[in-house]
Structure 1
Amino acid sequence: MASVTVANARKSYGHFEVLHGVDIDIQDGEFVILVGPSGCGKSTLLRMIAGLEEISGGRISIGSKIVNNVAPKERDIAMVFQSYALYPHLTVEANMGFSLRLAKAPKEETRRRVREAAQILGLESLLERYPRNLSGGQRQRVAMGRAIVRNPQVFLFDEPLSNLDAKLRVQMRSEIKQLHQRLKTTTIYVTHDQIEAMTMADRIVVMRDGSVEQIGSPLDLYDCPANLFVAGFIGSPGMNFIHGKVSSSGPLEFIARGGAKLPLPENLSVARGSEIIYGIRPEHLSIGAGSVAAKVILTEPTGAETQLTAKLGSDNVIVSVRDRLDVRPGDSLLLAPDLDKIHLFDARTEKRLHSN
């Protein structure tokens, strides 16, 4: 196992720069997820760590070794791709042991390591099958097994669950996390799915447009997003954003576009009349105990909870409630935000203004 350091890493295609000086320190044994929208540069960065893309500037180190100019096969990493990339004419056992045979490892050692990986992944009964006889989840396990037998310093995953259905994705998320807890191998995982990031990672790297927006534990990012982008990206359903300004006179309060008034913390250090964005997560809005009027637009029962979409001022907000409410579109509600859970952002810079 080894740490991974990315220092001021840049990537350009001609005059077009897609990564703008990325800095990430990944500790030995850590599970770090790179997350962000399509085109943010997360897969490019992963491929640079793997050696599949040349680095245009900066430094990438695995352990104490700078690997900028080191060939992929000499970096002691193993990569699991979105496509399973299995050889259709080889059995599961042959697919898993292919890299070892290519490296001319002794047959008995290859067989032992394949059997050990198969036991970890629950593939013992499938070793003689061919990929065409496997389900999507089984094929992904074989791809993971092929990486495990190499016993690398670092595992790299590039959106490995994208081709699976929703139920299988949940199952495989759990299996990959348990695998990491068992092997303790440094893991870097790329996904655009923030639910995967929240449930699996030790730390999350949120990227946008080739830059890092914030790095932190899942709950750090959820509870204290650095800016409007991170606040909106992390969490499902997403954070509510209400546009307006701080009251110019009288009691300190937030005045939304459309006239609705919401409470503000007394220790807010922002000029009166400033335009800000008021953020509140759906589960931090209570119904019936407040004075903020809203009109129901949509109700979406999910079983464990009900999500209500309501009009508040000029903005729509989502409210998550666990009670079974008899609420219909067109009904009026009184909402109360949890003052200890609000997030305030500068309307111009989109940076966080207040930290609870």
Structure 2
Amino acid sequence: MGTVNIRDARKSYGSVEVLHGVSIDIEDGEFVALVGPSGCGKSTLLRMIAGLEDITGGEIHIGDRVVNDVAPKDRDIAMVFQNYALYPHKNVRENMGFALRQRRVPRADIEQRVTEAARILGLEHLLDRKPRQLSGGQRQRVAMGRAIVRDPNVFLFDEPLSNLDAKLRVQMRSEIKELHQRLKTTTIYVTHDQIEAMTLADRVVVLNGGVIEQEGPPLELYDNPASLFVAAFIGSPPMNFLEGDLVDNTCLVLSDGTRLELPAGDPKGRSRITVGVRPEHFELSENGWPATVSVVEPTGSETQITARLAGNVVRVLVRGRTAVRPGETIHLSAAPDLIHIFDAAPVPEVAEMEDVA
């Protein structure tokens, strides 16, 4: 069984604790993405599952075994790294079959598995080439093929697309998702890119500072963020935030005295709040929150408008095209169920960067 159960996992480097009791249950065949900003601990957690990092506290179960003290080669996992980790002097066929040869798998079985993996990944015509003769995307396919031939219970992906250009990343995302749908092998995927996490995974686990902020299906996190951090991290362009005092449960008063009527009151009776609205949930209306347009960015299928609302920079995403011009005043509104209310707090800096933990 390809289940992975993480129980109160902790990791310390000396006196510095980087994972503070993380618990996750991953079902057989599930695709789970670990996502978060630099230093949140997601790569450290993946390496602990793989056995490349010792676990300081807690337990990691793969199938029905506790693997805390099991060597990486005996965990029945296969890992795909960011840098491909291919042998430059071996061709594609030899790279893909190397781990099987180390296990003394019969030559005929190796050939069969390599041929099948190459067919799945579209590498049949490249089997005799060396890594230097391949593009970045082809090298990544070879790295995935090397994992596939092992027929593991669990695939581990550590930022596998970080070295690819934007167009190729989109293509490889689709190929990885199609591969999982075909093989149905339990997959744990680490990325700093929330778009990758949202598009690939059955379930997304958002990490921040060594703890889980929220986990659930991608659209659940998008529609119902449990914290200001998740609201700021999930979504591109990011959510807009306005902080102020709630008056009579219906009006948000900003720091400069601007009063914004809210379609929905605060269910918890808080006096100072942060209101969040996603760019695509703003609507241009005749009556609403007044904002002055500063930048208009048309892309053809949609237009992004940057405006100032009572001193706050907000972004509005309009489907199609608009006649709005810089310097104009527009009025913004949003449906009540699309306005998010949080406790007042500084909006976290969650720029997407590579993980260093």
Coarse TM-score class (shorter-chain normalised): over 0.9
CA displacement, residues 322-347 of structure 1 (integer Å, 9 cap, x when unaligned): 13112222111011122111100011
How far did 1:67 drift? 0.2
1:303-322 equivalences under 5 Å are 303-322=300-319
Three-state SS of the structure 2 residue aligned to 1:327 is: coil
Counterpart in 1 of 2:131? 131
Taking CA–CA contacts closer than 8 Å with sequence separation of 6 or more, which of the two structures ends up with the larger relative contact order?
Answer: 2
Q: Distance in 2 between matches of 1:302 and 1:14?
A: 50
Q: Distance in 2 between matches of 1:288 and 1:2?
A: 52
Counterpart in 1 of 2:335? 338
Counterpart in 1 of 2:99? 99
Matched-pair contact (CA < 8 Å) for 2:277–2:334? yes
Q: Distance in 2 between matches of 1:76 and 1:155?
A: 9
1:97-246 equivalences under 5 Å are 97-246=97-246
CA displacement, residues 236-269 of structure 1 (integer Å, 9 cap, x when unaligned): 001100111101x4x7222223314131424723
CA displacement, residues 187-227 of structure 1 (integer Å, 9 cap, x when unaligned): 00000000000100000000011111000000000000000
Q: 2:254 aligns with which of 253, 256, 265?
A: 256
CA displacement, residues 22-60 of structure 1 (integer Å, 9 cap, x when unaligned): 010000000000000011000000000000000000000
How far did 1:108 drift? 0.3
* TM-score (structure 2 length as normaliser): 0.95
Q: Does 1:74 align with 2:37?
A: no
Structure 1, unpaired ranges of 5+: 351-356
Q: Bigger shift: 131-140 or 331-340?
A: 331-340
Q: Does 1:325 align with 2:322?
A: yes
AA aligned opposite 2:194: Q
Structure 2, unpaired ranges of 5+: 348-357
Three-state SS of the structure 1 residue aligned to 2:21 is: strand
Matched-pair contact (CA < 8 Å) for 2:266–2:341? no
AA aligned opposite 2:269: V
Three-state SS of the structure 2 residue aligned to 1:87 is: coil
CA displacement, residues 46-81 of structure 1 (integer Å, 9 cap, x when unaligned): 000000000000000001100000000000000000
How far did 1:287 drift? 0.6
Matched-pair contact (CA < 8 Å) for 2:274–2:345? no
Three-state SS of the structure 2 residue aligned to 1:68 is: coil
Counterpart in 2 of 1:354? none
Three-state SS of the structure 1 residue aligned to 2:230 is: helix
AA aligned opposite 1:86: L
Change (3 A) 1:349 1:162: closer
AA aligned opposite 1:40: C
1:289-300 equivalences under 5 Å are 289-300=286-297
The root-mean-square deviation of aligned C-alpha atoms, in Å, is 1.3
Q: Distance in 2 between matches of 1:195 and 1:83?
A: 21
Change (3 A) 1:134 1:49: same
How far did 1:85 drift? 0.8
Q: Does 1:287 align with 2:290?
A: no
Matched-pair contact (CA < 8 Å) for 2:28–2:185? yes
CA displacement, residues 151-176 of structure 1 (integer Å, 9 cap, x when unaligned): 00000000000000000000000000
Change (3 A) 1:332 1:349: closer
AA aligned opposite 1:297: S
Counterpart in 1 of 2:27? 27
The runs of 4+ residues in structure 1 deviating greater than 3 Å are none
Counterpart in 1 of 2:17? 17
How far did 1:289 drift? 3.7
How far did 1:299 drift? 1.2
Q: Distance in 1 between matches of 2:29 and 2:261?
A: 45
Matched-pair contact (CA < 8 Å) for 1:279–1:344? yes
Matched-pair contact (CA < 8 Å) for 1:299–1:329? yes
CA displacement, residues 118-158 of structure 1 (integer Å, 9 cap, x when unaligned): 00000001001111110000000000000000000000000
Matched-pair contact (CA < 8 Å) for 1:254–1:264? no
User: How many residues get paired?
Assistant: 346
CA displacement, residues 255-299 of structure 1 (integer Å, 9 cap, x when unaligned): 22331413142472314xx11000000111101243210001111
Three-state SS of the structure 1 residue aligned to 2:143 is: helix
Counterpart in 2 of 1:90? 90
How far did 1:14 drift? 0.5
Matched-pair contact (CA < 8 Å) for 1:256–1:314? no
Three-state SS of the structure 2 residue aligned to 1:145 is: helix
How far did 1:348 drift? 4.7
Matched-pair contact (CA < 8 Å) for 2:206–2:230? yes
Q: Distance in 2 between matches of 1:336 and 1:121?
A: 47
Q: Bigger shift: 129-138 or 341-350?
A: 341-350
